[in-house]
Chain A
Amino acid sequence: MNALERPCAGDDGLDRERFPTLSDHGRRMLDFMRGHPCAPLYRNRSGNRLLAHEVEAQRAYERSVGATTIGWTPNVAPAWVQDFIEDVFRTVPHYLALGSAPRRLDDVAPVARADFAADIAAFVPDHVPLERMINFRTTGTTGHPLLLPSHPVVAARYAAFHKRALRRVGIEPAHGRGQVGVVLLGYQRRCFTYVSVSPAMGESGLAKINLHPDDWRDPAHRAPYLDALAPEIVAGDPISFAEYLELPVTRPPRALVSVSMLLLPALRARLERRFGCPVLDIYSLNEVGPVGVFDAALGGHLLLQPRLYVEILDAAGRALAPGEVGEVTVTGGFNFCLPLLRYRTGDFAALAFGPEGPLLTGLSGRRPVRYLARGAWINNIDVTHALQPFPLPHFNVHQQADGAVVLRLAAGALGLAPAASAALERLFGRPVAVELLEADGKTLQYTSALEGAHG
């Protein structure tokens, strides 16, 4: 088959399962997105998979999430947590083996990604039906692939938290029949791409596309295709947004939603200027879904899930006081296939409490790294500050065992290398080497082989 043909054009006979409630309007939307003359090569298939009653439930869920405040206070678990613990100890094999439900949350032994990787089936409640189970594949930054159990209803619920975050900046998504609601952007050599429709919003279109030139018959089709779709919301990560910035699109979305990686302020500012719309930076994990949205005025990521209790734990599993940095650990969540009980996320932050509820401050993907600079230890936050003026979509700062410092940048950002490395040289007081960063997706921003770098 010619690489330019679209392998996923048309119905392969399974669209009824992918789109159980599909009407002629929805079908036309799918055909429009797949069949547009500038459409990319859609490599995969996906669907909302929602049954009619689940579409109704989704609308109610969104209303409920939108109307609920998050009112818990430091280190006091909200009332629902004890019932949740008892339910989990009654129905989840991993916890059944531990015996009776503890009477306090801090008596529950935390779990981490390694526990999921060792036996994910032990974390799925006994009552969850398996017929419609889906998975979310994740490699995290540690590189161990893991299939997380989920469900179409769970996937659909993401929208409720994004809408909650959007509403804070005055945006009420209003897309409906005949419009494209959301485009998810990727920029990778291999990327899962598809078209779909959102039945809870009038079968508006949803497309996941890869901006990498290899996925297009002509890379010049990217901008006209995005203009033809004219999505209300564009979601992506700093790497795909850096590419999106360069495209001559003329119909900007009402908002951009960034997930997965650290969004440096300079890139965020460029995006806001270029598209004239708010850019939401959302802290989200496959295991938990959207956790918080960044708000510079509040000084951190405001929590988004009413049924997610967050603790900050030290290495020994003790809950830390507000303001102290430790591992972000979550209880609850909205994935009924994978209830979370003191799940250590592997990310680090402190808890703070603002007028709109709890927030995470100083969030850092993975354990903080300290660097040796001018004979003293400095925090990786200092490196973030040094790099703030540069719109780097993707980078890694590594200190070698002998103290030498390397700045790795994606190919598209090498033009910024002289200025960025000079900023780091001022910080470290020594020369900084620049290398090409060859990685797709999530990368550890801060690494070190120096003894003592991890405290």
Chain B
Amino acid sequence: MNGYGPALETLARRLADTPPDFLDEPRIGNAGRMAVAAVVNDLLRLHGARAPLAALRPFEGANARADRNRLALAAIVAWLLADEWFVAAGLQQAALLHTLADLPAQLAPSAPAHAFVGDDERREELLRTVLADLGYRPLGETPEQAADRLAAISALERRRLLEASRAAEARARAIREALAKKVADESADKWTRE
């Protein structure tokens, strides 16, 4: 890790105060209003960097199921990285793009994007992940403390995701079985049948 970043509490406050514009509906196809590629482009310019068009493509979604939550989270990360501490840190364009594109892709399956703003645990997870990805640690923590805490959160998160995924699969199977049972097929009374 390069060194200290800001205090977690400072960044947590910034996240909690994310303006509504950054929580708006990501533009995917002709739906939504927030053009995340434009948000990312503005951020890069704030950092004195310019992005080639190709680098912005990942921020233009193609379908809601695959992209909506990831893009919503990318906009939140962009708001975070617009903090003056990050702007003053002299971050490289490649590093910024990595944090903006890869972290949301990695974290989006675990929770709704806005939970990373409103929920204490998710907020800490996002902040530690962003700082570590850029090579920093929270102010006041040793490299070991920061790495341990991030690992603990990540392990917990992986376990939670795995359990949730197993539960979802079991539930879907149970629904299909319940629907296919003879008794379900036998139905119940309606006044009319379509």
A13–B31 CA distance with the chains assembled, in angstroms:
55
Q: Which residue of A lies closest to B175 (CB)?
A: A121
Q: B89 contacts the other chain (Cβ, under 8 Å)?
A: no
Q: Which residue of A lies closest to B116 (CB)?
A: A100
A101–B112 CA distance with the chains assembled, in angstroms:
8
Task: Give the interface size bracket for B toward A.
Answer: 35 or more
User: Contact at A45–B186, with CB atoms within 8 Å?
Assistant: yes
Neighbouring A residues of B127 by C-beta, 8 Å: none
A149–B185 CA distance with the chains assembled, in angstroms:
10
Q: Given the known A-B contacts A99-B72, A121-B171, A130-B175, are A182 and B191 also in contact in the complex, defined by CB atoms under 8 Å?
A: yes
User: Contact at B108–A259, with CB atoms within 8 Å?
Assistant: no
Q: A104 contacts the other chain (Cβ, under 8 Å)?
A: yes
Q: Given the known A-B contacts A100-B114, A107-B25, are A259 and B192 also in contact in the complex, defined by CB atoms under 8 Å?
A: yes
Chain B 135-175, CB-CB to A under 8 Å as 1, else 0, gives 00000000000000000000000000000000010011111
Q: B87 contacts the other chain (Cβ, under 8 Å)?
A: no
Neighbouring A residues of B57 by C-beta, 8 Å: none
Q: A437 contacts the other chain (Cβ, under 8 Å)?
A: no
The secondary structure that dominates the B interface is helix
Q: Which residue of A lies closest to B164 (CB)?
A: A96
B182 to chain A, nearest CB (A): 10
Q: Which residue of B lies closest to A129 (CB)?
A: B178
Chain B 22-41, CB-CB to A under 8 Å as 1, else 0, gives 01110000111000000000
User: Contact at B192–A158, with CB atoms within 8 Å?
Assistant: yes
Q: Which residue of B lies closest to A316 (CB)?
A: B30
Neighbouring A residues of B176 by C-beta, 8 Å: 120-121
Neighbouring B residues of A98 by C-beta, 8 Å: 64-65, 68-69
A318–B30 CA distance with the chains assembled, in angstroms:
9
B16 to chain A, nearest CB (A): 15
User: Contact at B192–A136, with CB atoms within 8 Å?
Assistant: no
Q: B184 contacts the other chain (Cβ, under 8 Å)?
A: yes
User: Contact at A46–B194, with CB atoms within 8 Å?
Assistant: no
Q: Which of A137, A156, A260, A285 contacts B189 (CB 8 A)?
A: A156
Interface set, chain B 28-84, CB cutoff 8 A to A: 30-32, 64-65, 68-69, 72-73
Task: Give the interface size bracket for A toward B.
Answer: 35 or more
A377–B23 CA distance with the chains assembled, in angstroms:
47
Neighbouring B residues of A134 by C-beta, 8 Å: 183-184, 186-188
Neighbouring A residues of B65 by C-beta, 8 Å: 97-98
A86–B185 CA distance with the chains assembled, in angstroms:
31
Q: B180 contacts the other chain (Cβ, under 8 Å)?
A: yes
Q: Given the known A-B contacts A97-B65, A135-B184, A317-B31, are A121 and B189 also in contact in the complex, defined by CB atoms under 8 Å?
A: no
Neighbouring B residues of A317 by C-beta, 8 Å: 30-31
User: Contact at A149–B194, with CB atoms within 8 Å?
Assistant: no
Known: A99-B68, A192-B187. 18 other contacts (CB 8 A): A14-B183, A46-B186, A98-B68, A99-B114, A100-B69, A103-B24, A126-B171, A130-B178, A131-B178, A133-B178, A134-B186, A134-B188, A156-B190, A184-B193, A186-B193, A257-B192, A284-B194, A317-B30
In the A-B complex, the 10 residue pairs with the closest CB atoms: A99-B69, A100-B114, A100-B112, A121-B172, A121-B175, A155-B188, A130-B178, A107-B25, A152-B188, A133-B178
